[in-house]
Amino acid sequence: MTDRRVVGLRDRLIRACEGAAGLSPDTVTDPSHFDEALDGALRTFQQNKGLIVDGVLGPETETALTQAQYTLGDRPLYFDAEHPLRGEDVERIQANLSRLGFYYGHLNGVFCRKTHYAVVELQENLGLEPNGVVDLDTIAALARINKNITSSKAYSLRDYARLEQATNALKQRVIILLPWASSGQAVSPSAPEQFTGDQERITTDVALRTYELLNNVGASPIVVGTENYTTKAGEPVRTAETKAIATDGHSDALVLTLHCDWNTSGSANGVATYYWGNQDGTETYSPIGEMAARYILKELVSRTGAQDLGCHARQWELLRYSDAPTVWVDLGYLSSSSDSGQLEDPEHRERLAESILCALQRMFVQSNDTVATGTMSLSDIEAYYNK
């Protein structure tokens, strides 16, 4: 690949300080050539950001690279409702505000209204003009504050507190179900044309089955999509056109985004879950998301016999940009004859839905497990709510 865009990519990776050695245009014969050093640096960047490591500058990598261009102090930060500022500098100020007890949102690198209010409160406490703009004066005043805080982040503690305060388990709990078609995620370039339709059909069916099970025990599930659905009893399914609409006013909700996978190797098979955190495991940004992901994976493996491909922390946009904890659930590989055969079976899809229900019941009840994973029945859950 030879292109002037490659020169720009070199500069951006150098500014992001990711594997910069050997990238400078001054050290190579042809800076517009996509060479091994550039490929390695891009893959290192993807690895460090918890992205899929493929050496391709796709949408997720492009966004992460753009956000990595700024460090705190490079530019003034302020709230813009139509075009919110994004970047690692925003995430840094959010982290500082959170440690000081001013910011109560997720550290997603988006300068949202919550961030604005937190900055204003900080400025008021520091005797600065409370204009909500993070300028050099605000940064300098912030740097003068010496406050010892443990490594347990304030937002994580608040996340756990929300879970501990849940007294009704799933009753009236808002669970947002996001089939693949509503997630805005691209399809693997190696997947055949029919993969898109199959993934949409299967994930929507599992979402609707999960909706019915959750609804039956008194939860408040919402399916994201533009279609009008009905339950088996003919009742309308609660829907929202987008994830943003569904989560509006429901920061204590849980979002489950359902996907199928594809691999060029037909031997790849199994289920996996993902939550928002650092890929190296050093930081969990969404404790509830991590807990839900682990419970769901355990139940999926136990109830379906699927290969356990693990529970992983990732920095994907779909997991980051929401006030509500989000879990990505891979239901299996449509490129695998065994997985695809099961996913086409309605009974298997019902077991997938039951796995999700039982996992959430275990998590929100927050009691000592007395029933082995995979053995809790629907009647057990119904009995819990009919006490």
Q: Which domains does the chain have, with CATH numbers?
A: 4-67 (1.10.101), 88-149 (1.10.101), 159-385 (3.40.630.40)
Strands 254-261 and 220-224: unpaired
Torsions phi, psi for 368 (to 5 deg): -65, 130
Tell me what pLDDT residue 19 has. 53
Tell me what pLDDT residue 148 has. 39
Residue 161 CA to residue 155 CA, distance in Å, equals 10
Tell me what pLDDT residue 188 has. 77
Handedness of CA 294, 290, 313, 214 (dihedral sign): positive
Q: Which of these, 229, 228, 211, lies nearest to 220 by C-alpha position? A: 211
* Residue with the two structure tokens 């309605």: 346
Q: Which two tokens stand for residue 141?
A: 């005043």
Distance of CA 350 to CAs 18, 238, 256, Å?
45, 20, 16
Q: Which of these, 285, 282, 283, 279, lies nearest to 320 by C-alpha position? A: 285
Tell me what pLDDT residue 9 has. 81
Q: Which two tokens stand for residue 374?
A: 């995979």
For the chain, give the number of residues: 387
Coil vs helix vs strand at 266? coil
Q: Which two tokens stand for residue 86?
A: 């994004």
With beta carbons less than 8 A apart as the criterion, state whether 279 and 50 touch.
yes
pTM: 0.69
Handedness of CA 386, 160, 100, 252 (dihedral sign): negative
At a CB cut-off of 8 Å and minimum separation 6, what does 108 contact? 91, 94, 320, 321, 322
User: What is the pLDDT tens value at each position of the chain, 387 positions in all?
Assistant: 557 778 778 878 877 765 565 677 667 777 778 888 888 888 888 877 777 778 888 888 888 888 788 878 878 999 998 889 988 889 889 888 888 878 887 788 889 999 999 999 989 888 889 999 998 888 888 877 744 333 334 455 555 555 655 556 788 899 999 999 888 787 777 888 899 999 999 999 999 999 999 999 999 999 999 999 999 888 999 999 988 888 887 878 899 999 999 988 889 999 999 998 877 766 667 888 999 999 999 999 999 999 999 999 888 888 887 778 899 999 999 999 999 999 999 999 999 999 999 999 988 886 555 566 767 778 888 777 776
Tell me what pLDDT residue 3 has. 75
The packing angle between helices 346-365 and 378-385, to 10°, is 40
Cα–Cα–Cα angle for 318, 321, 326, nearest 5°?
Answer: 55
